[in-house]
Amino acid sequence: MDEMELVGRFGEVDPLPIEALDRAEAVLRAAMAETLPPVLWPLTGRGHRRRPNRRSLASIAAVALACAAGGFVIAGSGSTSSPTTRSSVPGGSGHADPAVLTASKVRLIASQSTALADSGRAVETLTNTSNSPPQAVVPTTTDVTFSGQNVNYTVVSNGSGAKGVQERVVDGQVYVFVEGPDLQMHWYHETQPGAEAGTSFVDPRTLLQAVSPSAGLENLGQEWVAGVELTHLRATTPGAIGQMGIPDVSGTVKSFDVWIDGDNVVHQMTVSAASGNILCSRSAPRVSPQADESVGGVTTLPGGNPVPAGVTCAYATATTTEISFSNLGAPETVTVPPGAVDQQAEG
């Protein structure tokens, strides 16, 4: 049914003020975004960074009627898919400001996730950026399998040719899968005292400690991540995370984002931190303070003065760690690799 057919069915009406149209459009788009399948989200404006081109109220209503005829339900503006869901209309008058989660809610997320994280898998991507001098970003991706305190790390990709290298901790003993003197890959058992303390990797589950009330997590609404609808949370006080003593999280934490499912279980986390001296140089004006903050840049100098226009300042190094969990709670097995050769590492 097109716009003219709608007018023919419902008759002509007096023009509405633009503010009323904005409110009506926002309510309808929010309701559609909560119920339509992802393929139709471009019609609602959901999932886009910029506001879509304005459509007439009749056009949106026509889409809604067509979806209803096809079996989709158009929910009321007050409906939500879970207690943590907040409907928002980017750029519209129906936009809802993010709400900071209560301390009890954050503790529930942490406890639910930690309880399931005894076993499962994770993919961790670590990106280090140097601003002194500027260097190309070469991320390292590691596939991690864990079962209790037994953990196996497999390097999936990085810039140093270590793809395929593995490190495994079983009952406090360390095993590595690396190239031997014969230029072939072999398992070795590290027998020197304290080998476990010197492992090259940090268990990704340690970052779950950052899901803390001190982070001031706010609800940014629903997002689809890898085919799963999740709730996006962001820290309003990320700097507090850097004071918690979490392994591999140091310096000034610039941002911390968490995505959880309807059972309050963490699926993904991203933390960005910066360290070292602050370096400044003449450059084009910043695109936005938020963009600068995300890559280790600064908008305020240590003395409290703002960075002058035409000057870009950033910490010497910036680190971004992204962790995606999967199959949390599912049984996994991490055992001693057969045929591992005992060796005592030098130094």
Q: Which of 66-80, 113-127, 135-149 has the lowest mean pLDDT?
A: 66-80
| Residue 52 burial (C-beta neighbours within 10 Å; 0-12, 13-18, 19+) | middle
| pLDDT, mean over the chain | 74
158 and 215 assigned to the same domain: yes
- pLDDT of 104 above 70: yes
- pLDDT of 172 above 60: yes
* pLDDT for 17: 52
10 and 131 assigned to the same domain: no
158 and 292 assigned to the same domain: yes
Closest C-alpha to 221, from 35, 90, 72, 50:
90
110 and 45 assigned to the same domain: no
* pTM given for the model: 0.65
Q: What is the DSSP string of 171-220?
A: TTEEEEEEE-TTSSEEEEEE-STTTGGG-S---GGGGGGG-SGGG-EEEE
How far is 75 from 41, CA to CA, in rounded Å? 15
Q: Which of 9-13, 31-35, 54-58, 106-110 has the lowest mean pLDDT?
A: 54-58
- pLDDT of 257 above 90: yes
Q: Is residue 345 part of a domain?
A: no
Percent of the chain scoring above 70 in pLDDT: 64
Residue 284: which CATH number? 2.50.20
Range of the domain at 194: 106-326
* pLDDT for 6: 39
User: 240: which DSSP letter?
Assistant: G
Q: Which of 18-22, 150-154, 320-324 has the lowest mean pLDDT?
A: 18-22
Q: Is residue 315 part of a domain?
A: yes
30-72 pLDDT tens trace: 544 444 444 444 444 444 333 344 334 434 344 333 333 333 3
Confidence of residue 94 (pLDDT cuts 50, 70, 90): very low
Tally the residues of the chain: 347
Token pair 């280790």 in the structure block, residue: 296
How far is 218 from 99, CA to CA, in rounded Å? 5
* pLDDT for 127: 87
- What CA–CA distances, in Å, run from 43 to 35, 39, 99, 169, 320? 12, 9, 26, 50, 34
211-242 pLDDT tens trace: 999 999 999 999 999 899 999 999 999 999 98
49 and 115 assigned to the same domain: no
| Residue 301 burial (C-beta neighbours within 10 Å; 0-12, 13-18, 19+) | middle
What sign for the dihedral angle of Cα 99, 104, 110, 115? negative
How far is 322 from 137, CA to CA, in rounded Å? 14
* pLDDT for 110: 97
- pLDDT of 294 above 60: no
58 and 116 assigned to the same domain: no
128 and 276 assigned to the same domain: yes
Asked if residue 273 lies in contact with residue 294, where contact means CB atoms within 8 angstroms, the answer is no
Task: Give the total number of structural domains in the chain.
Answer: 2
125 and 13 assigned to the same domain: no
229 and 288 assigned to the same domain: yes
113 and 61 assigned to the same domain: no
